[in-house]
Amino acid sequence: MNGQSDHLDLKRSRVCVTGSGGFLGSFVVEALRARGASNLILPRRKDFDLTKEESIERLFEQSRPEVLFHLAAVVGGIGANEKNPGSFFYQNAIMGIQLIEYARRYGVQKVIVVGTICAYPKFAPVPFNEDALWDGYPEETNAPYGIAKKALLVQCQAYRQQYGMNSIYVLPVNLYGPRDNFDLESSHVIPALIRKMVEAKRVGASEVACWGDGSPTREFLYVRDCADALVLAAERFNGAEPVNLGSGEEIAIRDLVEMVAEMVGYRGNIVWDTSRPNGQPRRKLDITRAERSFGFTAKTTLRDGLQKTIAWYLDAMPEAVPA
């Protein structure tokens, strides 16, 4: 399985998905099943604490996976990263390092590791090209998380070099969509904005406060598109180099806020709290490698994805809708 033309048949494989109960993981499981993969191993944290070596060994001994998707992660927005830099670094690093090592020991045929856009240098040239990953230090508020995940790229490449392990590494841009985390203490920007705007509309609030000054730009990828990309990569890509996953759309946070407010129907004032951090100034990916390497292009525009996400939130959280 060393050549680019060697395609993995997921239907015939025992496939383990860590983080399968999470946001991205639930969509990856759906995408795998849609491809005909039926022999799925879906460990849950209550049964397997992946920060503990004995749990990982027990998982591999019991299930003997042939393909491993490592999606499990401890994640959050700027606020959560600021509060928990140590635990975010430790848990993400230790999970990935031990999982990849046990995949080697148990002869897993292919490992798909999901990295993070937070691994890029704070001032990486835009659009971010994979070759720029090592050209500087990540943005400070999420550097511990980004560096922990970037260490797994080094491990994948080192294990490929020394042991011939077929491990691939992909870097999704900011994800959003149905089933996202809408907890304001730990959520990312899109679910936080949707919840804030819906609640402000419901109670008739005159204003909504947003962090920073609205100037940073971001690129977002609809979660179902990302899940499809991961399955495509598993089937078709066997290279050592990291691969960006994105949509190609860049939007200023200020414009995103106005778009969500308009779509939700909130007509109050937006107030910018400039005492709060902006985060990385710009994020937009060079996505040519994913298209060239395994034929991935995103199908969902930001507006369409936001409509689907807002509709899901209003349906899933009926208390958010005025009676």
Classified as helix, coil or strand, 141 is: helix
Phi first, then psi, for residue 218 (nearest 5°) are -140, 155
Give yes or no: 163 in active site: no
CB 170 within 8 A of CB 229: yes
Q: Which residue is it, tokens 């939700």?
A: 264
Q: Would you call 62 helix, strand, or coil by DSSP?
A: helix
Give start and end residues of each alpha helix (H) in 106-252: 143-163, 189-203, 223-236
Answer for the pair 148, 92: CB distance below 8 angstroms, yes or no: yes
User: Considering 145, 159, 169, 266, which one is annotated as catalytic?
Assistant: 145
Beta bridge partners of 245: 172
Record the tokens describing residue 303, joined without a space: 């507006």
β-bridge mates for residue 41, sequence order? 16
Tally DSSP H helices, then E strands, for the chain.
10, 12
CA distance 115 to 33: 23
CA pseudo-torsion sign 78, 80, 86, 90: negative
Sorted by sequence, the CB contacts under 8 Å of residue 323 that are 6+ apart come out as none
Assign 187 to helix, strand or coil: coil
How far, in Å, CA of 302 to CA of 222, rounded? 8
Strands 251-252 and 217-218: antiparallel
Alpha-carbon torsion 102, 103, 104, 105, what sign? positive
Cα dist from 235 to 1, 16, 113, 228, 289, whole Å: 10, 15, 14, 11, 16
Catalytic residues, by residue number, are: 145
